A and B are shown apart, each in its own frame.
Chain A
Amino acid sequence: MNRDFMRSRVQRGPLGDILEKVEAGLRLSFEEGVRLYEAEDINAVGFLANVVRERLHGDRTYYNVNSHINYSNICVLWKACKFCAFGKKEGQQDAYAYSLEEIFKMAETLGRGRTEFHMVGGLHPDLPFDYYLEMIQGIKEIHPQLHLKVFTATEIRFLADHIAKMSVEETLDHLVRSGLGSLTGGGAEIFAEPTRSRICKGKHSGEDWLEIHRIAHNKGIRSTCTMLYGHVESNEDRVDHMLRLRDLQDETGGFTTFIPLAFHPENTQMDDIPSTGGMLDIRNYAVGRLLLDNIPHIKAYWIMVGQPVAQISQRFGVDDLDGTVVQEKIYHMAGAKTPHELTVNDIRRLIREVGREPIERDTLYREVTRQGDQWAVHA
């Protein structure tokens, strides 16, 4: 293949030295990360990210047949996290907490033929620890094959300190015994202070978020990681955030995927901030791909950025489009105009049209073979 046009164009340009490092497989620095954010030539940044993407994954783009259940939106941090339209105070209109019966009933239908449940909720002040244990145990009984990717580090910290009243280690042990498969990556927001305090004063610190993932990884629990962007953070905050993830990954290797999350302002306390632009969306994927040399996958969550950006992101570092997703509430309460579900055919078309090859995966990125609702993974 002749890539000389792009390669020599980038080589001659202001990112030439970064190209050299990327091609040699060398790690990029903080300053280089900031330069990638400041670079005017978005296609050059995309080219660089694509070099890494294709080295790791060729033309494969992964997707997942999954469902979401947001068990409750009642959250003690309802006011603290200014970027959130989902969390509600107990007793407030629209506040809800599903009973276990309701969840099992939902799970019955939602879980059919799916490989994964993604379940997160607010920090509910009163639900007992048994609620969580029984919830995952009960779902596993209904669908033993289903992988439960459940709870953010923020929920784990809250459960450990205020509900289970035990250490994070013990809390995780109980959850794993009940059927927890892996942790979700939410709650990371932006690690750097003072930005973190400006958007979610009172939430646990970035260090604590990382500590909980460290503990989980050391127990063999895999997880994903995220970054909330498009609010008041700087380029430096973003790069700092990614490099802290990279450091932990060097230590544990437990992250499967990095997912940049676009801030949606509607119905939040920060609704004076405009929605993120497409340039920033694709740049975050590309810079993430380039800085996070030790995290295997970069995911575009189409629910949040929309299908058009998710499609072209596959040329800007992304190799994963998340799932078919049923029942998503968090982003839709913040004004997301995306549909609630894409069919497998929709997702495969989004992938094929941009010249990539769709591969169904399970939570741990093992290839899935499927016949209707019957599926199996290759070890």
Chain B
Amino acid sequence: MTTATTAFYEAIEKAAAGERLSYEEGLALLEGDDLVALGAAADDLRARLHPEGYATYCVDRNINYTNVCDVYCTFCAFYRPPGDHPESYIRTRDEIRQKLDELYAVGGRQILLQGGHHPDLRIEWYEELFSWMKSEFPDLHLHALSPPEIHHIARLEDMPYEVVLTRLNAAGLDSVPGGGGEILVDRVRDKISRLKVDTEGWLGVMRAAHNLGIRSSATMMFGHVETDAERVEHLHRLRKLQDETGGFTAYICWTFQNDGAAPLKAQTVGSSEYLRMLAISRLYLDNIANFQSSWVTQGMKIGEISLHYGCNDMGSTMLEENVVSAAGTTYALNEDDLHRMARNAGFTPRRRNFFYELI
């Protein structure tokens, strides 16, 4: 029979009533497998936070400015090492202009700009790129550079995060994506991304950004080497920072995708684990308003169902996605598909901007 303890149901009931869960209660949730109960409670919370019956999305595209990276995360199939590698690239202005033209042609006004840790790109390179983008495309929203990239630039330039962020912000950076969060526990990070920014660094970049008025999203990549306790630890740290700053606009979690391209050999966990973790996150993160569905990793069918497991948002149309697809999982959707996904789940699809304002 469904294995779930009394503590599991007590925690669900508490969260569904709108009360905050303790670390122990979060852990109790991870010890039960009553999937529909978790889904129902998460759905209730979603409905309380977003009673309008909308499933929102934005039209944006990914641009990866470089795939050169020297942190060698074991779960990643996207990067190429520095030096002469035939598949290495740094996107030229012409290439970027073409991508932005394509985005504007479909009515999009936002990009997610991320890349590897290129050892030779200095802060001026980013500043010039951002200023150029903003002069060519003044109404573009630039959702750019995850905390590991900011941390990398700060280290390269020997500057505090605040200075890097202030300069990049002045050049055109509008918000910071939550990439590189993975699991915010150093034991896990040492195993899967030893050279990448540590837990304090990731949180430090986000804190600095939020304090400067720069909003960001939060992420979680799970289903690899972490324990249940470390998953709760991750959620706990995000919630704590959000209490402090209120700067996270949204949360998105996804499962590690393994098709053999990355060195990390963990088995990709299934849809039930995705939905379970998603629902638990919704119950635990009472102070982050928006939850995005990861249909990119889970497919459209689970994407629909995720709208009843805590998500109120379908993320973006993902005009170009290179990182997850480098690991073999790739689902591309157009706006019609997103509309169908929302309607099939009983919601009205609504387009939004980065700040979750309806368009």
Interface set of A (CB-CB < 8 Å, partner B): 1-6, 9, 40-44, 46-47, 50, 54, 58-59, 274, 277-282, 305-309, 311-312, 314-316, 349-350, 353-355
Contacts and interface: CB of A to CB of B under 8 A. Distances in A.
A6 B4 CA distance: 13
B102 interface: no
Interface of B: 1-4, 6, 9, 12-13, 16, 33-37, 39-41, 43-44, 267, 269-273, 275, 298-305, 308, 340-341, 344-346
A46 B270 contact: no
Contacts of A42: 39, 305, 308
29 contacts: A2-B4, A2-B9, A5-B16, A5-B41, A9-B16, A41-B43, A42-B39, A42-B305, A47-B40, A50-B2, A277-B300, A277-B344, A277-B345, A278-B302, A279-B345, A279-B346, A307-B271, A308-B298, A309-B271, A311-B270, A311-B271, A312-B275, A312-B305, A314-B272, A315-B272, A349-B270, A350-B270, A355-B2, A355-B33
Nearest to B40: A43
Contact of A5 (B9, B35, B273, B302): B9
Contacts of B44: 9
Query: What 6 pairs between A and B have smallest CB-CB spacing?
Result: A278-B301, A308-B271, A355-B33, A277-B344, A43-B40, A354-B272
A44 B40 CA distance: 7
A3 B271 contact: no
A277 B55 CA distance: 15
B270 A278 contact: no
A307 B270 contact: yes
Given A2-B6, A5-B9, A353-B272, A278 B305 contact: yes
Contacts, number: 119
Contacts of A309: 271, 301-302
B93 to A, nearest CB: 38
Contacts of B6: 2
A40 B345 CA distance: 8
Contacts of B298: 308
A44 B44 CA distance: 12
A1 B10 CA distance: 12
Contacts of B34: 3, 6
Contact of B304 (A4, A47, A279): A279
B241 to A, nearest CB: 30
A46 B272 contact: no
Contacts of B43: 41, 43
Given A54-B2, A355-B3, A43 B299 contact: no
Contacts of B35: 46, 312, 315, 354-355
Contacts of B308: 41-43, 279
A246 B353 CA distance: 50
Contacts of A47: 36-37, 40
Contacts of A307: 270-271
A1 B34 CA distance: 11
A265 to B, nearest CB: 13
Contacts of A3: 9, 34, 37
Nearest to A44: B40
A5 B270 contact: no
A349 B344 CA distance: 29
B40 A6 contact: yes
A314 to B, nearest CB: 8
A289 to B, nearest CB: 13
A351 B29 CA distance: 20
B12 A5 contact: yes
A314 B275 CA distance: 13
A54 B41 CA distance: 21
Contacts of B270: 307-308, 311, 349-350, 353-354
Contacts of B346: 40, 279
B40 A278 contact: no
Most buried by B among A308, A312, A316, A353: A312
B335 to A, nearest CB: 14
Given A1-B4, A277-B301, A308-B298, 17 more contacts: A1-B1, A2-B4, A3-B37, A9-B40, A41-B40, A41-B43, A59-B1, A278-B305, A279-B345, A281-B301, A307-B271, A308-B299, A353-B273, A354-B35, A354-B270, A355-B3, A355-B33
